[in-house]
Chain A
Amino acid sequence: MSNRLRSLALGLVGATAVALPAFAVDLNVTCRCVIGGVNSATAQWIEESVIPAFEAAHPDVNVVLNQFGGEDAQLTQQLALDFSTGAGPDVTAFDGFLIPSFVEGGLLKSLDEVAGAEVNDWSGWAALSEGSRALMLYEGKYYGIPLGTDVRMVHTRKDILAEAGIAADWQPTSWEELLDAARAIKAIKPDSFPLQINAGVAMGEATTMQGYWLALLGTGEAVTDENGKFIVASQGILDTLNLYKTVYVDEKLGDQRAQLLADGRNRSFANFRDGVTALLLEGDYFYRSVTPEGSEFAVANRDQVQGWVKMPAKEPGAGIRGQDFVTISGGTGFVLNPATDTPKEAWAFLSFMNEPAQLEAFQAIQPRITARTDVAIPNSPFLTETSQTLLPLTTARPNDPSYNAVSSEIQRMTEAVVSGELSPEEAMAQYKSAVTAIVGADNTVSLL
């Protein structure tokens, strides 16, 4: 059946195929980026800078960018299905935390396995910072080149803090001080929701990274222990969930609806823009892409009004590795299709786009924290300051194939607490049973 269908199909496809010059090599690049839509700057960079320059240097290669406008998870689905059948783009944008599960599923190969040993001779490796190299590294091998990394912090509305009588150089050193500031604002603006810590299922990974992790690290714990086992019961988890409960249930310092509704993350951005929220836990992405002038959630008069502080540990010194302040980094990069027909050209393109000349062109479109130490961040005091202060304090997500599934359970656990449906203890018990079902009892540990 399948063969008959195939010959029928090939006939039909053949009839419609367009003839191309035989020597030309086609290279397909995909990213979740659309000019004028999501990640517009990335699309603009690849389309207007990288591709023309690369084609000028390699006249026999024809590069096409597929601008993918859907959700992150949808791109993951497409790539996984495509890679499992040897199809798909030659080069694609890729979120670092998915590498382990793709590799274990046989859907990605290391760069040198795909494109040969010359990969290891690339001059750019030495220029990558230690932390960012780890983003695309799994079991000692590189699976892609990181494009950039990020850090997370508390974004502030300085105007509102001032109204509430909080000093301009305020830097909370404990959760209690952070909550006190929120209480002070709530006292003068009873209808506001001063503090935003992402929670719930609808925000997806933004709940885990920007909310849960950032709090949990302040209790001295992480999602996994030093042996890579998932912590399923601990004081740190309870403290974190109690923080959520204080903010969203007990004292209504945060906008509960924004955590529960499908478009909640955008509601939280709108709250910050409208001055309903004054303290918002997010990555530098928030400054870089969400609030600049001209964008939908632009904060009016941003240079005067928007600031940031470090996320404090629960108590001074109580954070992970005994830190006073905590942050967490993720990052994206580009990987090669393990079944690409043109591995040499694909690698040539991948390394070309990560040369300083191209990365500088990107910085000109939209400044961000680069993975390469030899590419400066131009004209962005915010990014320079935050990256210098926070990168030394940062933590990375565990390189574990089950992380993605556990992360969904984290989102569920936070939602159960912020909706008021379960107590922190009950939610943690539910988390424990769910994570045990995912990774097996041997890979979990209870610290209580």
Chain B
Amino acid sequence: MKFTLPAFFGRMAFSALAALIGAAFALPLLWFLFAPFNGRAELGLTIPDPFTLNNFVTVFGNSFAVQALWNSLIQAVGGVILVGSAATLAAYALSRSSIPGKGAVTYILLLFSSVVSGSAAMVPIFLIISAAGLMDTHLAVILTFAGGLLPTAMFILRDFIDSIPKSYEESAMVAGASPVQAFFDVALPVIRPGIVVIVVWSFVNIWGSFLIPFILLRSDSNMPAAVAIYSFYSEAGTPVVTLLAAYSLIYSLPVIALYLFVSWKFGFRFFGGIKA
């Protein structure tokens, strides 16, 4: 962020407030930094005593849970590729072409998707997947997520592309590029920060989701981590907190790593705007 305001007014106060809010956001998560290393099950925040890595050993010994992380990755990456590419193409077309009715379409789809995200729509989706013979496959989960996330992805990306001046592509086309070339060679690099937002957003959504895989998958070998985490519940149905915390930590690392990588490499922006 290049613009700096002269700190004539309470810059310290601003910093303190920002830090305070940040700390408040961190509080509910602190437990997850301690509990996985604790030999004893505790809901309270305590220094691990005895300190142990055994919880991780146990978790990695659970082949179902390890396989589930891999399954989550397949489903999330597959879904992200589909959402990212389809949404980019569609949002670009909606922003740059003059197809009739394009103005309202993202809003209407957004509203449709709000109905479909409710649980009543799980039935038609189940019937479609079942009729297509896709039950219990990764593809079923990938396609369903792609369809469900696309309206919002298109909505966000379209906003992003609308905020990029058309002059980029115009000058390319003046230089003799075709509209499709202008898209791939000129527009795509400029849109990239927006695509990155969609990638992270859809990855996070698929990675954490329970209901859709639960309804569309059957065999243990296909279930994602959001389902497998329930294998760290005792026979009585209570969570085994030490193992659950350890698995949660492992399960959370990929999304954190993805965010850090993306914000380091591309930045994380919603609009093209003036500063390209």
Chain A residues within an 8 Å CB radius of B130: 81, 85, 87
Closest B residue by C-beta to A289: B235
Chain B residues within an 8 Å CB radius of A77: 215
Query: Shortest beta-carbon distance, A282 to chain B, in Å?
Result: 12
Closest A residue by C-beta to B62: A36
Is residue B234 contacting chain A, with contact meaning CB distance below 8 A? yes
- CB pair A9 B238 closer than 8 Å: no
Partner of A10, one of B128, B133, B214: B133
A332–B214 Cα distance when bound, in Å, is: 24
Is residue A266 contacting chain B, with contact meaning CB distance below 8 A? yes
A42–B135 Cα distance when bound, in Å, is: 27
A2–B129 Cα distance when bound, in Å, is: 10
Query: Shortest beta-carbon distance, B232 to chain A, in Å?
Result: 9
- CB pair A67 B132 closer than 8 Å: no
Chain A residues within an 8 Å CB radius of B234: 37, 295-296
- CB pair A2 B131 closer than 8 Å: yes
- CB pair B132 A81 closer than 8 Å: no
Chain A residues within an 8 Å CB radius of B233: 37-38, 69
Per the 8 Å Cβ criterion, residues 192-250 of B in contact with A are 214-215, 218-220, 227, 230-231, 233-238
Closest A residue by C-beta to B130: A85
A78–B136 Cα distance when bound, in Å, is: 12
A38–B238 Cα distance when bound, in Å, is: 10
A34–B238 Cα distance when bound, in Å, is: 14
Is residue A39 contacting chain B, with contact meaning CB distance below 8 A? yes
Given contacts A9-B133, A13-B134, A269-B236, contact A67 B220 (CB under 8 A): yes
- CB pair A78 B218 closer than 8 Å: yes
Is residue B139 contacting chain A, with contact meaning CB distance below 8 A? yes
Partner of B235, one of A40, A82, A263: A40
Is residue A290 contacting chain B, with contact meaning CB distance below 8 A? yes
- CB pair B238 A266 closer than 8 Å: yes
Given contacts A34-B231, A66-B218, A67-B220, contact A2 B128 (CB under 8 A): yes
Query: Shortest beta-carbon distance, A102 to chain B, in Å?
Result: 16
Chain A residues within an 8 Å CB radius of B99: none
A10–B139 Cα distance when bound, in Å, is: 11
Is residue B256 contacting chain A, with contact meaning CB distance below 8 A? no
Per the 8 Å Cβ criterion, residues 343-379 of A in contact with B are none
A34–B64 Cα distance when bound, in Å, is: 11
Per the 8 Å Cβ criterion, residues 40-99 of A in contact with B are 40, 66-67, 69-70, 74, 77-78, 81-82, 85, 87
Per the 8 Å Cβ criterion, residues 279-335 of A in contact with B are 289-290, 295-297
Closest A residue by C-beta to B232: A37
Per the 8 Å Cβ criterion, residues 210-258 of A in contact with B are none
Is residue B137 contacting chain A, with contact meaning CB distance below 8 A? yes
Query: Shortest beta-carbon distance, A187 to chain B, in Å?
Result: 31
- CB pair A69 B230 closer than 8 Å: yes
- CB pair B214 A70 closer than 8 Å: yes
- CB pair A66 B220 closer than 8 Å: yes
- CB pair B235 A295 closer than 8 Å: yes
Chain A residues within an 8 Å CB radius of B237: 38, 266
Query: Shortest beta-carbon distance, B230 to chain A, in Å?
Result: 5
Chain A residues within an 8 Å CB radius of B215: 77-78, 81
Query: Shortest beta-carbon distance, B240 to chain A, in Å?
Result: 9
- CB pair B133 A81 closer than 8 Å: no
Is residue B180 contacting chain A, with contact meaning CB distance below 8 A? no
- CB pair A39 B132 closer than 8 Å: no
Per the 8 Å Cβ criterion, residues 411-445 of A in contact with B are none
A295–B234 Cα distance when bound, in Å, is: 9
Query: Shortest beta-carbon distance, B140 to chain A, in Å?
Result: 9
Chain B residues within an 8 Å CB radius of A2: 128, 131-132
Partner of A70, one of B123, B132, B230, B236: B230
A398–B152 Cα distance when bound, in Å, is: 47
- CB pair A85 B127 closer than 8 Å: yes
The 7 closest A-B pairs by CB, nearest first: A9-B132, A85-B130, A5-B132, A6-B132, A9-B134, A266-B238, A296-B234
| Apart from A13-B134, A38-B233, A266-B236: 17 A-B pairs, beta carbons within 8 A | A5-B128, A5-B132, A6-B132, A6-B133, A9-B139, A16-B137, A37-B235, A38-B235, A38-B237, A40-B235, A69-B230, A78-B218, A81-B215, A85-B127, A266-B237, A269-B236, A295-B234
**Residues on B close to A: CB < 8 A?**
123, 126-128, 130-135, 137, 139, 214-215, 218-220, 227, 230-231, 233-238
A-B CB contact pairs (8 Å), 24 listed: A5-B128, A6-B131, A9-B133, A12-B139, A16-B137, A38-B233, A38-B235, A39-B235, A66-B218, A66-B219, A69-B231, A69-B233, A74-B214, A78-B218, A81-B126, A81-B130, A81-B215, A85-B130, A266-B236, A290-B236, A295-B234, A295-B236, A296-B235, A296-B238
